[in-house]
């Protein structure tokens, strides 16, 4: 996942489920492998209405189906998996 994110010049990682089991640990673990320009937004739940256009790429760590549906409706975009294993990484396509 870190290799994929590090290819982006100005990435944002959103973790809407960080408050649940293992969420904080996942974010903390990957943060050590990412370039310094990587930003994080840690949202409780799936209510993500505004995402700044200042980021080159927007990634989601372990995006639930509810979050995927919300993003498709709110941002008229698509969210696609870019990595799946024990964890998953999704990317918002604008």
pLDDT averaged over the chain?
83
Domain boundaries, the chain: 2-93
Domain 2-93 maps to which CATH number in 3.40.50, 2.60.120, 1.10.10, 3.40.190? 3.40.190
The pTM (predicted TM-score) of the whole model is 0.85
Output the pLDDT for position 49.
66
| Dihedral over alpha carbons 85, 38, 17, 58 (to 10 degrees) | -80
pLDDT of 46 > 60? The answer is no
Residue 45's pLDDT band (boundaries 50, 70, 90)? low
Asked if pLDDT for residue 70 goes beyond 90, the answer is no
């Amino acid at each position: 996942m870190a290799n994929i994110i590090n290819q982006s010049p100005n990435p944002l990682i959103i973790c809407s489920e960080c408050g649940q089991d293992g969420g904080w640990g996942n974010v903390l673990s990957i943060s050590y492998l990412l370039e310094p320009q990587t930003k994080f937004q840690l949202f409780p739940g799936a209510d993500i209405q505004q995402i700044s256009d200042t980021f080159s790429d927007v990634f989601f760590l372990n995006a639930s189906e509810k979050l995927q549906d919300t993003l498709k409706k709110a941002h008229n975009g698509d969210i696609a998996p870019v990595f799946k294993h024990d964890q998953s990484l999704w990317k918002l396509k604008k």
